[in-house]
Amino acid sequence: MKRAIAIVICTLLTACSTETTPRNTGVYMLLDTSGTYNEELIKAEQITRFTLSRLDASDSFAVARIDTGSFSERDIIAKASFDDRPSAVNRQKRLFAEQVSDFVENAKPAPYTDITGGLLQAVEFLNEKGTGTKTILIFSDLKEDLEQGYVRDIEVPLDGFEVIALNVTKLRSDNIDPREYLGRLEEWQGRVERTGGSWRVINDLDGLEGLL
Amino acid sequence: MSFMLGITPWPVASALLWIILITAALYLIRSTAHKTIQAAAQGLHRSFRMASKAVSRSETNLAARNRDVLLAAGREAKERIIEREFDRINETVRKDLANYSGLHRSLSESIGRIEKDHQEAVDVPPDPPGWVKAVKAVADMDARDGRAHIGSILGDIHKSLIKAHKEAMAAYHDASAKRHKLLRQMRPDWRKIQQTLGAVGKNVDSLLSRSVTIDRHMQEYEDIVRGQDRAMSVLSSSSLVNFFVSAFVLCIAIGGATINFSLIARPMAEMVGGTSLIGDFRTADIAALVIILVEISMGLFLMESLRITRLFPVIGALPDKTRVRMIYITFTILFLLATVEAGLAYMREVLLQDELATSALLRGDAAAAVTATGEFMWITTAAQMGMGFILPFALVFVAIPLETFVHSLRTVLGLIAISFLRVVALSLRVLANVFLYLGVLLKQIYDLPLFVPLWIEERLSVGARLAGDQNLKGARP
């Protein structure tokens, strides 16, 4: 009997003390606000809401804009690490959706597009949160346009990250020479996969079921 | 193979040579081979027989043990039934027959009143009328006296007669009315006596029927004590019925507990967090389960304290004062837990509505977000709260089928084990016989290729016997 009690206690203690890997999800969404792509932001709001509906307690979510210099906390529009309690999670989600909505209504087009800086910021944010799965959503045409003086030819450490490009629209020049568009996609895929990340492109926004 | 067929230049001759050599060798070791086969078969046969006997002995012991357990359980159950019947008789006697003296006095008083009224109601003959004497006096007068005023006297008499008649009739009517009144007064007494006697008769009938029931139970109890087969078979079948019925009720109770769990698991996340885990299970789920298990435990203790079940003899043996305290304590804990559950059920509905509203908002369906918290939601909220409050009390009664299940499970497991051992013993016995006859068969198969030397041996032995017989005949004078 004593032995049985000891075994049960040891099992419980082991179960309680074992360091389990985190099972929560971290999502960082980058919104391209440059030039004409600014008009696409209304779609980004829908994606944000969809993502919010998929996230649960203790998950983390942040939405940031891509502008001239995106490697900055100031570019984060809304961020939240959801509470443990379901009621608090609902409140946080409503507030988050409101913040994104406000941003979309008042967004101004940015002159330059610093996607790499945004990616670096996303990696930093998600690593800091230490979530189990790390997903970066890039809502952009993936055409990077840096201001003079900005250095971005660096490797972004994306090991363990899933990068999903959303609504990668074709530019006028892409229509003239599709190789440009394909080359752009290929280049980003190469950059992500070279550093250990996985890459996906979703252009059909009606089929977001497999997003998260 | 080629070596075997190559010992002579002719393969057929080689084969024949081999056959002869092998047959000869087999014939030479035939006796030893037969003994070996016999020994092996006998050994296996005996081993399996022994194993079969051992299993049979275990089965017998288990059957005896099961019988003892069943009889003990039956005896205990019967004792409880008889005890309860005596309690009922005691209650009837205490309640209805304890005030028998009062009843007797009431009956005597009623009868006394009736007797008195009856005496008073006797029909009193009217007084002899006064005119009889007057008539007699007139009759005694001599008519020849010539008294002229005789007519006026008779007229007076007539008047007196009418007057007296009227008075007598009035008195008679008064007396009759008085008697009727008295008789009317007697009616409630009669009715009361009839009712009292009816109640007494009912009580006596109840006592008689109970005594018949007790007689029957006592007879069954005696059968159980004597360990009669009829009692055993009745107890065994009743135990099986109890097992299945209690298992069915327990399944229903498990369903109730599952619903209870789903009512409180979700809001429990508000208290202990929705993402913390113990092992592979959510802490909120474990907490909800623990609450339900604590409720069931409290229910068990309550039932034990009320002496409805007897799963824990320690509780049953507690002094009455402690036991009553325990009843109050367990009931209070149960009540508090039921209240907590009702609160959690309310919280669940609030959370659900909040979640629906948030989902609708995120879908961009503002109208749905408003209607998600509609005006009729209070019905489901109230229903959930009601269920959250009632289910813990309903689960209290799980103790009764649980006790029956535990008690009948012992018997059912015993019966299953007996059947299993019986099958094992039979299989071992069959195997033992199979090995025995297998030995005989193997010996026959061994002899098959040796039919030629065996035939020669038989012929030789017959010849030798005949020669011996002839020698004996020749030796006789």
pLDDT in tens, B225-269: 887 778 778 888 888 898 999 999 999 999 999 999 988 988 888
Which of B430, B348, B336, B330 shows the shortest CA–CA distance to B385? B348
Q: What's residue B372's pLDDT?
A: 55
Residue B276: its chain A contacts at CB < 8 A? 84
Contacts of B363 (CB under 8 A, 6+ apart): A49, A53
- Nearest-Å Rg of the Cα atoms of chain A is 20
* C-alpha triplet B188, B193, B195: angle, nearest 5°: 90
Amino acid identity for residue B366 in this structure: A
Residue A42: its chain B contacts at CB < 8 A? none
Residues found in chain B: 477
A58 φ/ψ sector (left φ>0, alpha ψ -120 to 50, else beta): left
Contact call for residues A64 and A138 (beta carbons, < 8 A): no
**Higher-confidence position of B370 and B103:** B103
The predicted-structure confidence for B65-100, as pLDDT tens digits, reads as follows 888 888 888 888 888 888 888 888 888 777 776 777
Q: What is the mean pLDDT of chain B?
A: 84
Contact B273 A16 (CB under 8 A): no
Indicate the residue of A50, A85, A93 with minimum beta-carbon distance to B274.
Answer: A85
Contacts of B6 (CB under 8 A, 6+ apart): B14
Q: What's residue B10's pLDDT?
A: 84
Contacts of B301 (CB under 8 A, 6+ apart): B312, B315, B326, B330
Which run of H or of E encompasses B341? helix B320-363
Mutate to test the interface with B, among A13, A56, A87 (most CBs of B within 10 A): A87
Adjacent-strand bridge partners of B224: none
How far, CA to CA in Å, does B4 sit from each of A85, B7, B22, B23? 88, 6, 12, 15
How far, CA to CA in Å, does B392 sit from each of A68, B262, B268, B340? 63, 13, 16, 10
The minimum CA-CA distance between B66 and chain A, rounded to whole Å, is: 26
Strand A161-166 vs strand A198-202: parallel, antiparallel, or unpaired? parallel
Contact call for residues B292 and B395 (beta carbons, < 8 A): yes
Of B131-135, B218-222, B388-392, the poorest mean pLDDT is in B131-135
Residue B268: its chain A contacts at CB < 8 A? none
Chain B contacts to A (CB-CB under 8 A): 266, 269-270, 273-279, 350-351, 354-355, 357-359, 361-364
* C-alpha triplet B190, B192, B94: angle, nearest 5°: 140
Separation between Cα atoms, residue A127 and residue A4, nearest integer Å: 43
Mutate to test the interface with A, among B264, B266, B270, B275 (most CBs of A within 10 A): B275
Q: Which two tokens stand for residue B455?
A: 């035939």
B59 φ/ψ sector (left φ>0, alpha ψ -120 to 50, else beta): alpha
What chain A residue is nearest to B369 in terms of C-alpha separation?
Answer: A94
Contact A53 B266 (CB under 8 A): no
Contact A90 B273 (CB under 8 A): no
Annotate B372-414 with DSSP letters as a single string.
Answer: TT-TTHHHHHHHHHHHHHHHHHHHHTTHHHHHHHHHHHHHHHH
Contact B279 A15 (CB under 8 A): yes
Q: Work out the angle between the directed axes of helices B11-28 and B451-475 (0-180°, nearest 10).
A: 50
Contact call for residues A151 and A162 (beta carbons, < 8 A): no
Amino acid identity for residue B168 in this structure: A
Residue B163 has pLDDT above 70, yes or no: yes
The minimum CA-CA distance between B246 and chain A, rounded to whole Å, is: 30
Of all residues in chain B, what percent carry a pLDDT higher than 90?
31
Separation between Cα atoms, residue B180 and residue B86, nearest integer Å: 49
- Phi, psi angles (nearest 5°) of residue A34: -80, 145
- Phi, psi angles (nearest 5°) of residue B123: -70, 110
Contact call for residues A60 and A80 (beta carbons, < 8 A): yes
Contact call for residues A170 and A60 (beta carbons, < 8 A): no
Confidence of residue B373 (pLDDT cuts 50, 70, 90): low
Q: What's residue B286's pLDDT?
A: 93
Separation between Cα atoms, residue B220 and residue B233, nearest integer Å: 12
Q: What's residue B127's pLDDT?
A: 57
Residue A87: its chain B contacts at CB < 8 A? 270, 350-351, 354
SS3 category, B416: helix
Adjacent-strand bridge partners of A135: A27, A162
How far, CA to CA in Å, does B87 sit from each of B92, B152, B263, B307, B354? 9, 90, 42, 14, 57
**Burial letters for B117-154: b for 16+ Cβ neighbours within 10 Å, e otherwise?**
beeebeeeeeeebebeebeeeeeeeeeeeeeeeeeeee
Contact A49 B355 (CB under 8 A): no
Residue A141 has pLDDT above 90, yes or no: no
Contact B278 A15 (CB under 8 A): yes
Strand A25-32 vs strand A133-139: parallel, antiparallel, or unpaired? parallel
Which of B71, B73, B68 shows the shortest CA–CA distance to B224? B71
Mean pLDDT for the stretch of residues B379-406: 91
Indicate the residue of A15, A24, A87 with minimum beta-carbon distance to B354.
Answer: A87
Residue B269: its chain A contacts at CB < 8 A? 57, 84-86
Confidence of residue B357 (pLDDT cuts 50, 70, 90): confident
Amino acid identity for residue A179 in this structure: R
Distance of CA B307 to the CA centre of its chain: 17
Residue B364: its chain A contacts at CB < 8 A? 46, 49
Residues found in chain A: 212
Confidence of residue B147 (pLDDT cuts 50, 70, 90): low
SS3 category, A203: coil
Separation between Cα atoms, residue B42 and residue B10, nearest integer Å: 45
Can you give the pTM of this predicted structure?
Answer: 0.64
Q: What's residue A148's pLDDT?
A: 82
Contact B275 A84 (CB under 8 A): yes
Strand A60-66 vs strand A76-81: parallel, antiparallel, or unpaired? antiparallel
Mutate to test the interface with B, among A85, A89, A104, A205 (most CBs of B within 10 A): A85
Mean pLDDT for the stretch of residues A53-79: 89
Adjacent-strand bridge partners of A198: A162
Residue B358: its chain A contacts at CB < 8 A? 90, 93-94
Residue B371 has pLDDT above 70, yes or no: no
Amino acid identity for residue B323 in this structure: R
- Phi, psi angles (nearest 5°) of residue B51: -60, -40
Q: What's residue B69's pLDDT?
A: 83
Mean pLDDT for the stretch of residues B323-343: 94
**Higher-confidence position of B133 and B59:** B59
- Nearest-Å Rg of the Cα atoms of chain B is 52
Distance of CA A1 to the CA centre of its chain: 54
Q: What's residue B336's pLDDT?
A: 95
The minimum CA-CA distance between B349 and chain A, rounded to whole Å, is: 12
Contact A57 B359 (CB under 8 A): no
The minimum CA-CA distance between B259 and chain A, rounded to whole Å, is: 21
Burial of B234 (0-12, 13-18, 19+ CB in 10 A): middle
Residue A46: its chain B contacts at CB < 8 A? 364
Indicate the residue of A16, A86, A93 with minimum beta-carbon distance to B270.
Answer: A86
**What is the C-alpha end-to-end distance of chain B, expressed in Å?**
63
Of all residues in chain B, what percent carry a pLDDT higher than 70?
90
The predicted-structure confidence for B267-294, as pLDDT tens digits, reads as follows 888 888 877 888 888 888 999 999 999 9
**Higher-confidence position of B427 and A6:** B427
Q: What's residue A1's pLDDT?
A: 44
SS3 category, B150: helix
Annotate A149-196 with DSSP letters as a single string.
Answer: T----S----TTEEEEEE--PPPHHHHH-HHHHHHHHHHHHHHHHHTT
Residue A86: its chain B contacts at CB < 8 A? 266, 269-270, 274, 351, 354-355
Indicate the residue of B274, B277, B364 with minimum beta-carbon distance to A49.
Answer: B364
**Higher-confidence position of B320 and B372:** B320
- Phi, psi angles (nearest 5°) of residue A166: -115, 140
Separation between Cα atoms, residue A93 and residue B369, nearest integer Å: 14
Strand B277-278 vs strand A198-202: parallel, antiparallel, or unpaired? unpaired
Separation between Cα atoms, residue B110 and residue B404, nearest integer Å: 53
CB atoms under 10 Å from CB of B277, counted, come to: 16
HSE of B320, CA atoms in CB hemisphere, 13 A: 0
Separation between Cα atoms, residue B186 and residue B6, nearest integer Å: 137
Pairs across A and B, CB distance < 8 A: 54
Which run of H or of E encompasses A13? helix A2-17
Q: What's residue B107's pLDDT?
A: 79
Contact B354 A24 (CB under 8 A): no
